[in-house]
Structure 1
């Protein structure tokens, strides 16, 4: 298996996923090794000269004016990690932690941080051998970076804290021993170099945008199935309409729907059954398209941040300068993740409205109430819509922007913070809710197609229908719907529907 080369410049979303989800190994490029060694040499010189430089020979935050002696610089760095390990709450998943480690390695490889090569290699070895520090989700202000959660990552590097290794939660020292990795002692600048950055929020956000891009494809497929179940009008998807407005996401969504529905015998043209459909069908390209444009923006910003130097101070070896600044501030990502969460939430919002049209006999164009025979004795999909409504309502709370909030810290030295990690976590939670809603719509659409009578589905929607029906039979009387919803969600997460539909239509959705 070829290793992914880490150079601080070229990490992209697909490479990130290969390492984080598929356990591909990494190694540092020769240029990165050179950059790391050069910046470290300057730090060592400044320590020897006892030059006053923030974070190297001074305290942190409000203590930046406290000078630390040469003899105490090592203790300063260890105390930094121990004191900053204040995370609380549930623990991040192992894939998020792998992303955090990868992104921190990539940032350090740029050579602006002044860390020793041996320390970076320890983190590389932990990632490659699967030692995953236990990192609590809560406790970051998103400036100065993700201090508290990143501190929990570093604890394991010197044998403290806890880690998951081969599926077992162990004391950090034992996990390192079992993996055959030597623990380290931090020296000057290293603790700060390891925790002063935006890698936690960026890891969560990178996984979320990757899954959001897949979800937007599934939303198009689900909308197509609902269109057929309701004998929807395809004229609204005509490319002339969308090119007249000229938003890329809208144009692509209209084309997706036409390709998925190609050859369908269940769709209609305007005037055949009615003149126009409700917004949740007719405006699918406009709504889904807006979310896709949001996702394109978010992906661009996330990939920029993946390759950014985000700690403080930064070391510029050619100029022999150490400059204090604010690249740790998460605001560029906080706003991005708030926007991302809103874009994902809207996919679920319109999906739930289509689901309502399927189950409501006043809106469903002749389908049985709540998509079940012997209604009254059976409730059918009635409470499926309730559950979807609950999730989209929860999403509206989660979509409130965290980036507009700030609470001062460190005795007002750090008087504006981003809350970007909260933004990223909320976007992730919105994604998980939204996938469930789209699973509910797709399941209901398949049921509605069966009840109306499958006269022949489109080339793409037929694939989705058949895959769902391989797992979940038509509902003939009430059963535990939770199980059907979970099975459908697992199918969506597998991306089997996406790959088969794209193969059939001959292009990427």
Structure 2
């Protein structure tokens, strides 16, 4: 059964033991790709070997953590054989204590796909049927309602993932077409039989980094796009301020070999057509928010490959405990549920992204101030004649942009340093990776609000610059961007409420509606 919102042609992302990318998860989250469990019999046999090995250990009275013992600090408690089958149900039941806003449907699809990726590696001791059940729910558009708060990021995302485990078994609630529906009802109406979890399957679903990693995939996608958008905004701000494009000279940047920074400078050259003649009549040195923009945006651009490596390595890992080595017939107890790499990546990303908000906020301060904007009207008001006296242009928008920037900067305190000792000091050093990922998404949201404000601002600035200096046409890339923005935002010739246009621009940003640079 296909979810009604996802009936457009979609590429299939195959889940097996091969490596997945951030883009695979993002596309599933957006609904532009479907999750398909590999039909390869070799792959399916490898998955089955893990479950069969655990079954054999149980028959031989083997001691298996989380199967014949309690969980966490309760690992010293032996479970009577006749109660082993009930243990997974108790695990997801007592972890049903999450709070906060529910993950969005897109975030939930990303979480489900990320958990499916880890379990498909074949080291979790789960059945093929469990993997198929996750794929079925994704295909049917039945998405667990997952509270966003309640995970310390080790022993994995236990509490939020308990909501996935419960829904697989027909318990709790799901999103279906944006409406909350009891899971039992939704599965029945979709013709899906609830699972009865095998002995380790509750632990395998919950004891991992799927929530933080899924959110990190979505954060990466948004951050990568912001590096491009902030570069385009900088080009437009430079032109509006009648700036010196020679600050982005190729030879100048060749002597400081940060590849990401050099790439940003190259994009600016592409937008502004840097040439020797452009030095004439220009201010010798623009202020830092223009002149040093490649150095600020370049920090994120240069960090992205590291972030990708950390996120994709986690995405492609078996990260529950214990690891089931069916080939070597061993049960390996470790700590792969620990989300330190994601926590570090998210703490770093939110810092670099917040600096983009700060950069753009400084650019806006220059653009609206008639002392620094080289002949443009105060507050970039487009009003002329007697009405100019009562119009205030972008004065309030600059205040709001400053507020959003301040909040983004406030949230850059690293979450990963706030480890807590939990669960009877068994989980005595935890990653805080899920909180770091949520913080990063909030910083991205605030920064996108600043970007929306700047899109209005630089469009207004370029429009006014062309009015003040009609003999100096804008480069083609900026004219094209003006045309695209003009579909959603008109020049501010008379004061008006800007909130509706800001919301449209934010939606365009999240859709990545504008193609920026090759």
TM-score, normalising length: structure 2: 0.93
Q: Which runs of 5+ in 1 are unaligned?
A: 503-507
Match of 2:488 in 1: 471
Aligned length: 499
Which of 389, 406, 414 is the aligned partner of 1:393?
Answer: 406
Conserved? CA contact 2:112–2:134, under 8 Å: yes
Please state if 1:177 is matched with 2:188: yes
Q: Does 1:422 align with 2:431?
A: no
Q: Which whole-Å CA distance do the structure 1 matches of 2:500 and 2:47 have between them?
A: 52
Which whole-Å CA distance do the structure 2 matches of 1:481 and 1:437 have between them? 13
- TM-aligned CA deviation for residue 2 of structure 1: 5.0
Alignment CA distance shift 1:96-1:2 (3 Å): closer
Summarize the Cα distance change of 1:101–1:290 in structure 2 as closer, same or farther, 3 Å threshold: same
Q: CA deviation at 1:8?
A: 3.4
Map 1:103-252 onto structure 2 (within 5 A).
103-252=114-263
Equivalence for 1:87: 98
Residues 189-246 of structure 1, C-alpha deviations (whole Å, 9 max, x = no match): 1100010000000111101111111111111111111111001111110111222110
> What do the CA deviations read for 1:288-318 (whole angstroms, capped 9, x no partner)?
1111112221122111111011000001112
Correspondent of 2:356 among 347, 354, 372:
347
2:348, 2:291 → 1: CA distance? 24
Task: Find the partner of 2:301 among 279, 283, 292.
Answer: 292
The 1-side partners of 2:101 and 2:393 are apart by: 36
**Shift of the alpha carbon at 1:375?**
5.0
Q: Aligned pair 1:33/2:50, yes or no?
A: no
8 Å CA contact 1:35, 1:111 repeated in 2: yes
Residue in structure 1 matching 2:508, options 465, 469, 491: 491
- 1:61 deviates by 0.8
CA 1:333/1:20 → structure 2, altered by over 3 Å: closer, same or farther?
A: same
Within 5 Å, which residues of 2 pair with 1:2-13?
A: 3-13=12-22
- Does structure 2 retain, via aligned residues, the 8 Å contact 1:226–1:442? no
Distance in 1 (CA, whole Å) between partners of 2:505 and 2:389 is 26
The one of 366, 379, 387 aligned to 1:370? 379
Report the more deviating stretch, 162-171 or 145-154. Answer: 162-171
Contact 1:88–1:139 under 8 Å retained in 2: yes
State the alpha-carbon separation in 1 of the partners of residues 512 and 502 from structure 2.
Answer: 16
Whether 1:456 and 2:473 are equivalent positions in the alignment is yes
Q: Distance in 2 between matches of 1:161 and 1:233?
A: 60
**Structure 1 range deviating more: 195-204 or 468-477:** 468-477
Deviations along 1:451-471, one digit per CA (max 9) or x if unpaired, are 222532122111111111122
- The question of 1:447 aligning with 2:460 is answered yes
1:453-507 CA-partner distances (Å, limit 9, x unpaired): 253212211111111112211111111021232233233333332x2x54xxxxx
CA contact (8 A) 1:263 1:457 kept: no
Q: CA deviation at 1:406?
A: 1.0
Deviation at 1:287, TM superposition (A): 0.7
Which digits, 9 at most, give the CA deviation of each residue in 1:49-80, with x for residues without a partner?
A: 12112111100011010011221111111000
SS class of match (1:169): strand
Aligned residue among 401, 412, 422 for 2:425: 412
Matches of 1:271 and 1:356, distance apart in 2: 25
Is it true that 1:434 corresponds to 2:443 in the alignment?
Answer: no
Deviations 1:164-209 (A, max 9, x none): 1123210011111122211011121110001000000011110111
3-state SS of paired residue (2:36) = strand
Q: Determine helix, strand or coil for the equivalent of 2:180.
A: strand
Question: Is residue 355–residue 409 contact of structure 2 (8 Å, CA) maintained in 1?
Answer: no
* Length-normalised TM-score, structure 1: 0.95
- 2:285 counterpart (270, 273, 276): 276
Q: Kindly state the Cα deviation for residue 23 of structure 1 after the two structures are TM-superposed.
A: 4.4
CA contact under 8 A between 1:19 and 1:25: conserved in structure 2?
yes
